[in-house]
Chains A and B, each alone.
Chain A
Amino acid sequence: MPFIPHTEQEVRQMLAAIGAASIESLFDVIPREIPAAQLTRVPEGLSELEVSRVLRERAGEIAPMLSFLGAGAYEHHIPAAVWQIATRGEFYSAYTPYQAEASQGTLQVLYEYQSMMASLTGMDVTNASLYDGASGLAEAILMAVRQAKGSRRILIPSTLHPTYRKVVKSIVTSQDIEVVELMYCAECGTTLPESLAKFNNAAFAALVIPNPNFFGCLEEVDRLTDWAHAQGALAIAVVNPISLAVLKPPGDWGERGADIAVGEGQPLGVPLASGGPYFGFIACKQALVRQMPGRIVGRTLDLDGKPGFTLTLQAREQHIRRSKATSNICTNQGLAVTAATIYLAIMGPDGLRNAALLCHRNALELNAALKAKGMLRKFSAPCFHEAVFALNRPARSVLEALLQQHIIGGFDLTDDYPELDESLLICTTETKSHQDIARYCEALSALTTTTA
Chain B
Amino acid sequence: MQTPVNLKYAATHEWARVESDGTVSVGITFHAQEQLGDVVFVESPEVGRKLQQGKECGVVESVKAASDIYAPISGEVIAVNADLGSAPEKINEDAYAAWMYRLKPDDLAELEKLMDATGYENLVAAESH
Contact = CB atoms under 8 A, between A and B. Distances in A.
Interface string B14-41: 0000000000000000000000000011
Contact of A290 (B41, B46, B62, B63): B41
B43 A290 contact: yes
A290 B64 CA distance: 15
A315 B43 contact: no
Interface in B49-99: 61-66, 68
Given A290-B41, A290-B43, A315 B68 contact: no
Contacts of A324: 66, 68
Contacts of B62: 315
A220 to B, nearest CB: 32
Given A290-B41, A324-B68, A315 B63 contact: yes
Contacts of A316: 61, 66
Contacts, number: 19
A316 B62 CA distance: 10
**A-side interface size class:** under 10
A315 B66 contact: yes
A315 B46 contact: no
B96 to A, nearest CB: 24
B38 to A, nearest CB: 11
A45 to B, nearest CB: 55
B66 A320 contact: yes
Contacts of A290: 41, 43, 61
Contacts of B40: 315
Contacts of A315: 40, 61-66
A149 interface: yes
Nearest to B43: A290
B46 A149 contact: yes
Contacts of B64: 315, 320
A56 interface: no
B65 A320 contact: yes
B79 to A, nearest CB: 18
B65 to A, nearest CB: 6
A371 interface: no
A89 B58 CA distance: 45
Contacts of A149: 46
Contact of A321 (B43, B63, B66): B66
9 contacts: A290-B41, A290-B61, A315-B40, A315-B61, A315-B63, A315-B66, A316-B61, A321-B66, A324-B68
Given A315-B66, A316-B61, A324-B68, 9 more contacts: A290-B41, A290-B43, A290-B61, A315-B61, A315-B65, A316-B66, A320-B64, A320-B65, A320-B66
Interface of A: 149, 290, 315-316, 320-321, 324
The 10 lowest CB-CB distance pairs between A and B, nearest first, are A315-B66, A315-B61, A321-B66, A320-B65, A315-B65, A320-B66, A290-B41, A316-B66, A315-B62, A315-B64
